[in-house]
Structure 1
Amino acid sequence: MKLVAVFLRVKKFCESQRISDRATLEPKADRGAVAMGFGLVVRFTAHDEEAANAFDALAAEALRGIHELEPGTLVYANHTVAGEPAVRVFYELYRDRDAFEAHEQQPHVKRFLAERGQFLRSFEVTFLNEVASKGTGLEGSR
Structure 2
Amino acid sequence: MATEDRTQDRSTPQAHDARPFLTAYYGELRAHLERKLLLGNRKADKHARGSNAGPTRLAMNTSLSELELQGMEARVAAAQAGPWKSWVEGRDFLGGSNFIQTGQGADRGEDIEMTGATVADFMAAVRQDLPRLIAEVRRLRGLLNRAN
Common fold by TM > 0.5: no
Under a length normalisation based on structure 1, what TM-score does the superposition of the two structures give?
A: 0.21
* Structure of higher RCO (CA pairs closer than 8 Å, 6+ residues apart): 1
More strand per residue: 1
More helix per residue: 2
Greater CA radius of gyration, 1 or 2? 2
Under a length normalisation based on structure 2, what TM-score does the superposition of the two structures give?
A: 0.21
